[in-house]
Amino acid sequence: MRFLLITVLSIFFLVSFSCNRPDGSTEKEAIDSLASKDSSDPQIRALTEKINADPTNPEQFFLRSNVFQQLGNLAASFRDMSAAIALDSSNMKYYFAIADIYLKGGSADGAIDAFLQIIRKDPANTEALIKLSKVYFYKKDYQNSMLQLTRVQEIDQDNFEAWFIRGLNFKEMGDTGRAITAFQKSVQAKTDFYDGYMQLGLITSNKKNSMAAQYFDNAIRIDSTVTEAYYAKAMFYQDHGALEKAKATYQQLIRVNPQYEFSYFNLGYVYILQDSIDMAYRMFDFAIKVKPAYAEAYFYRGLCSREKGNFDQAIADFRQALTLKPGYEAAQKELNTLNQSTK
C-alpha cells in the first residue's frame, strides 16, 4: 500500500535538495550526509544498528526519526518516518508523527495531507479531525476548520477542544456572540479548561462585560502560576477605571512573578493616574532594574523626576530612552522642552 505522497522537496525549505545536485550527489546521498552528522549520538548509533539488523521493522525507523527530530535534523527525521509508513501504512501514529515534522518544517499543507490520510483510513478519528481543524484555522481557512469540527461533534457533541476551536474561528470571523457561546460550552465540557476561561475573559473584557474578571479568576484558580491571567485581569480593571483593583492585581502578579517588568510599569502608570508620583517613580525604577533596556520605563521615570523638580535626572532618563529607542518622539519632545527651560 502506498504511503503518503510526500517528498523531501515538498517539505524542507531548509534543505533545497534536487534529484541531481550541483556536486553530483543524489537527494538520498544528501540526506544521508545530513544524517551522518548525528551518527555519533549514542541513541542514533544504537537504533542504526537495530535497523541494519532488521530493516523491515518500522518501529525502529519511527524511534530513530524521533531522535533525529530532537536533534533538530528534520530532513533525516522525515526520511525515517516515511520509511516507517512505507513498512506499515496501517499505523496511525506514524502519520501523526510525520504531520508533526511537516508543521515543524513550516509546511501546513504537508500536515493537512497527513491528517487526511488518517481520516480516510479512520473517518471517526477525532484526534486527527481536531488537529486538521487547527491547521486550517492557522491557514485562516475558517470554513474547512469548522467543517472538521462539525464532524468531530457528530461523534462527540461535548468535545471541549472542538468547542474551543469553534470559538476561535467565530472570534476571527468577527462573530463575538457565537464565539462567547462556543467558549462557554468548552468550559462547561471541561470545567478546569484554562484556555477557555482566558478566551472568555479576553473577549468579554473587550465588550466591557463585568464577567471578564470572574473568567480571569477562574483561569487563575486553575493555574495560579501563569502571568497572563493576572495581567489581563489587572488591565481589565485599569482600562475600566477600577484603579484600586488594578493595583491589587498587579501586586499579586509581582508576588507570582517578580521578574515581569510590565507589572511594575503598569503599576507605575496607575500611580501616575492617582497623582502618587513618588510611588510611580519607584515602580518605574523597579521596571528598569528588571529590564535595563526598557525605554518606556526610562521615559516615565523621567516624567516623574520632572514633576518632582529633579530636572537633571529627568534629562538623563529622556536621553537614555532615546538611546534605547532612537526616534522616540515623546522623549525627544520632553528633552527639548527641558533643555530650553534650563538654559
Alpha-carbon distance of 259 to 270, in angstroms, equals: 19
pLDDT at position 262 over 70: yes
Confidence of residue 207 (pLDDT cuts 50, 70, 90): confident
- Give the phi and the psi of residue 20 in degrees, each rounded to 5: -125, 110
Could you tell me the three cell numbers for 243?
484603579
Q: What is the pLDDT of residue 40?
A: 78
pTM of the model: 0.82
Report the range out of 30-39, 191-200, 203-212 with the highest average pLDDT: 191-200
Q: Hey, which residues does 26 pair with through a beta bridge?
A: 20
Closest CA to 86 of 103, 98, 101: 98
**Assigned architecture for domain 1-122:** Alpha Horseshoe (1.25)
Report which of residues 140 and 31 the model is more confident about. Answer: 140
* Predicted confidence band of residue 242 (pLDDT cuts 50, 70, 90): very high
Per-residue pLDDT at 32 exceeds 80: no
C-alpha cell of residue 200: 472568555
Phi/psi class of residue 57: alpha, beta or left (left: φ > 0; alpha: ψ in -120 to 50)? beta
Distances (CA, A) of 47 to 56, 60, 152: 13, 6, 37
pLDDT of residue 14: 33
Question: Which pLDDT score is estimated for 62?
Answer: 97
Give residue 208's pLDDT band: very low, low, confident or very high (50, 70, 90). confident
The DSSP result for 254-289, as a single string, is HHH-TT-HHHHHHHHHHHHHTT-HHHHHHHHHHHHH
pLDDT tens across 72-119, in order?
999 999 999 999 999 999 999 999 999 999 999 999 999 999 999 999
**Top-confidence residue, 205 or 39:** 205
Calpha distance 60→227 (Å, rounded): 41
What pLDDT score was predicted for residue 37?
57
pLDDT (0 to 100) of residue 18: 31
pLDDT at 138 over 70: yes
Tell me the domain boundaries of the chain: 1-122
Q: Is pLDDT above 80 for 143?
A: yes
Beta strands in the chain (DSSP E): none
Alpha-carbon gap, residue 118 to 94, rounded angstroms: 10
The C-alpha angle 49, 51, 53, rounded to 5 degrees, equals: 70
Sign of CA dihedral 98, 99, 104, 110: positive
Give the mean pLDDT of 305-333.
Answer: 97
For the chain, give the percent of residues with pLDDT over 90: 85
Identify the three-state secondary structure at position 131: helix
Confidence of residue 1 (pLDDT cuts 50, 70, 90): very low
More confident residue, 11 or 201: 201
Average pLDDT over residues 262-267: 98
pLDDT tens per residue across span 281-295: 999 999 999 999 999
**pLDDT, tens digit (0-9, with 9 covering 90-100), for 47-79:** 999 999 999 999 999 999 999 999 999 999 999
